[in-house]
């Protein structure tokens, strides 16, 4: 399986590299990092990652969209949203973390589907008034080919959940042990559901 | 505070980017990614990160060493170990994750100090017969300026613990909430202490 990890300036570091750690141990998963133009992309935490130019026509396998501060610009860039729409339509699965779900929602492909997002950004996500079945209390959601997670660390739990669903429980738990990670394997168990921007 | 994140080919992705996510929210912490020669360094999970050449003489603040498959080559490279020794001596604090502690141990600076490492690699670490007070059951250890953690995800718990020790409890818990991360804040609580290579 190919996994296309989509990056943009000011993505949230752990949104990406938690799931990437998991996918790196999924059997025969080939990762590549892509962006609109290719070249170095910097996270909000100043991580410079080399990317290839996204070739949306030739996407297959898994397409991954993180969240982060950069999403606030990205969702108003119609060219990027059109590119993402094409890439997601070509992919077999689409996984998003944090406000990455809002970028996916902007393509229209989440219309009428269940999804979640970062809890401290939830009011802002709702304010975009998109026809998505937003679930506030969810560590992650799955609706058909779409997996969306709550903020940052939740992406690790979701990617292990995706691994269980499409590979096996044994492969998912072995990866969690390898990472010395206490997997929250219940997508309805959301310890941060009540958080809001007012909490910090 | 400056934070120098030392990378080498085949570092473990989450060993680095869990702690980096935390440090990115520590007040006035400036991150930079360094390696022996500079340029692109690839993790075991195929993440290509741009680095600067490590200037050991001018290191200050925090020096960070991850673990991963690449450690097995690195610990036998006397030039790199000498460079790391100089950098760590210039730094105020040194944090390691997983088998990164073995690279630090090879410099001699951990002699007679408490440290831990990845549990599935623990027998291999012990087999190096270095005069370190290795603790098998520890999510992380702290001895003076040295913080060492168990495998992969444990680095997040340790870096939050470091933040509590040198900034404040409030800053550490706020960062954990921002990451929607269930912080294991007790360094003696090691759920993976009994794991060995035989487990996978």
- Domain ranges for chain A, please list them: 2-199
Are the beta carbons of A184 and A139 closer than 8 angstroms? yes
Burial of A45 (0-12, 13-18, 19+ CB in 10 A): buried
H-state helical runs in chain B = 13-23, 71-74, 78-90, 100-106, 122-127, 154-166, 169-178
Kindly report the CA angle at B122 between B119 and B128, in degrees rounded to 5?
160
CA atoms within 13 A on the CB side of A193: 12
CATH number, domain B2-199, options 1.10.1660.10, 3.40.50.880, 3.40.50.920, 3.30.200.20: 3.40.50.880
Smallest CA–CA distance, residue B156 to chain A, in Å, is 10
Q: Would the pLDDT of B15 be above 70?
A: yes
The label of the residue with tokens 């409030």 reads B170
pLDDT at B151: 93
CB < 8 Å to A21, chain B: 12-14, 45, 152
Measured distance between the N- and C-terminal CA atoms of chain A, rounded to whole angstroms:
39
Cα B74 to chain centroid distance, Å, stands at: 15
Nearest-by-Cβ selection for B152 from A33, A151, A180: A180
Q: How far is the CA of B59 from the CAs of A5, B7, B22, B30, B33, in angstroms?
A: 33, 15, 20, 12, 12
Q: Tell me the two tokens of residue B13.
A: 């992705």
Phi, psi for residue A43 in degrees, rounded to 5 = -80, 170
Q: What's the whole-number mean pLDDT along residues B143-162?
A: 97
Query: What letter would DSSP give residue A54?
Result: P
pLDDT at B200: 59
Rounded-to-integer distance, Cα A108 and Cα A4, Å: 20
Q: CB B46 to CB A23 under 8 A? A: no
Smallest CA–CA distance, residue B106 to chain A, in Å, is 24
Q: Would the pLDDT of A23 be above 90?
A: yes
CB < 8 Å to A18, chain B: 14, 17-18
Test mutation, B5, B12, B21, chain A, max A CBs within 10 A = B21
Are the beta carbons of B160 and B166 closer than 8 angstroms? no
Measured distance between the N- and C-terminal CA atoms of chain B, rounded to whole angstroms:
39
Burial of A10 (0-12, 13-18, 19+ CB in 10 A): middle
The label of the residue with tokens 């994140």 reads B5
Chain A residues whose C-beta sits inside 8 Å of any chain B C-beta: 12-14, 16-18, 20-21, 23-24, 30-33, 40, 43-50, 118-120, 150-154, 174, 177-182, 184, 191-192, 195, 199-200
Q: In the structure, what pLDDT confidence band is assigned to residue B197 with cuts at 50, 70 and 90? A: confident
The label of the residue with tokens 């997040």 reads B156
Q: What's the whole-number mean pLDDT along residues A57-74?
A: 97
The label of the residue with tokens 């044994």 reads A170
Q: What's the whole-number mean pLDDT along residues A61-79?
A: 97
Are the beta carbons of A183 and A155 closer than 8 angstroms? no
pLDDT at B92: 98
Are the beta carbons of B133 and B115 closer than 8 angstroms? yes
pLDDT digits (tens, 9 = 90+) for A84-94: 999 999 999 99
Residues 6+ apart with CB under 8 A from A24: A31, B13, B43, B44, B45, B46
**ipTM reported for the complex surpasses 0.90:** yes
Q: What's the whole-number mean pLDDT along residues B19-31?
A: 97
Provide, rounded to the nearest whole percent, the portion of chain B with pLDDT above 90: 96
pLDDT digits (tens, 9 = 90+) for A38-63: 999 999 999 999 999 999 999 999 99
Q: Tell me the two tokens of residue A42.
A: 């910097």
Are the beta carbons of A61 and A92 closer than 8 angstroms? yes
Instruction: Identify the H or E element spanning A160.
Output: helix A154-166
Q: Would the pLDDT of B98 be above 70?
A: yes
pLDDT at B199: 62
Are the beta carbons of A52 and A32 closer than 8 angstroms? yes
Q: CB B13 to CB A33 under 8 A? A: no
Q: Would the pLDDT of A199 be above 90?
A: no
CB < 8 Å to B159, chain A: none
Rounded-to-integer distance, Cα B139 and Cα B175, Å: 19
Q: Would the pLDDT of A113 be above 80?
A: yes
Chains A, B: CB contacts within 8 A come to 128
Nearest-by-Cβ selection for A151 from B25, B120, B179: B179
What sign for the dihedral angle of Cα A169, A175, A176, A178?
positive
Kindly report the CA angle at A2 between A22 and A146, in degrees rounded to 5?
70
Rounded-to-integer distance, Cα B195 and Cα B95, Å: 23
pLDDT at B89: 98
Rounded-to-integer distance, Cα A180 and Cα B152, Å: 6
Q: What is the mean pLDDT of chain B?
A: 96
Q: CB A154 to CB B180 under 8 A? A: yes
Q: Would the pLDDT of B196 be above 90?
A: no
Kindly report the CA angle at B186 between B185 and B192, in degrees rounded to 5?
105
Q: Tell me the two tokens of residue B5.
A: 């994140």
pLDDT at A196: 80
Q: In the structure, what pLDDT confidence band is assigned to residue B198 with cuts at 50, 70 and 90? A: low
pLDDT at A197: 72
Provide, rounded to the nearest whole percent, the portion of chain A with pLDDT above 70: 98
């Amino acid at each position: 399986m190919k996994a296309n990890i989509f990056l943009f300036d000011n993505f949230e570091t752990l949104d990406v590299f938690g799931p990437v750690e998991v996918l790196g141990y999924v059997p025969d998963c080939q990762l590549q990092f892509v962006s609109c133009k290719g070249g170095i992309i910097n996270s909000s935490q100043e991580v410079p990652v080399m990317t290839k130019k996204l070739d949306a026509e030739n996407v297959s396998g898994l397409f991954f969209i993180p969240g982060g501060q950069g999403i606030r610009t990205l969702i108003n860039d119609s060219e990027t949203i059109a590119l993402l729409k094409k890439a997601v339509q070509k992919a077999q699965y689409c996984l998003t973390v944090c406000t990455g779900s809002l970028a996916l929602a902007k393509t229209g492909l989440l219309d009428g589907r269940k999804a979640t997002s970062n809890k401290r950004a939830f009011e802002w996500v709702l304010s975009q008034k998109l026809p998505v079945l937003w679930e506030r209390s969810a560590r992650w959601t799955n609706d058909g080919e779409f997996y969306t997670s709550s903020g940052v660390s939740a992406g690790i739990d979701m990617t292990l959940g995706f691994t269980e669903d499409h590979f096996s429980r044994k492969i998912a738990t072995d990866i969690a042990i390898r990472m010395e990670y206490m997997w929250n394997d219940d997508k309805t168990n959301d310890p941060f559901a009540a958080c809001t921007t007012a909490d910090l």
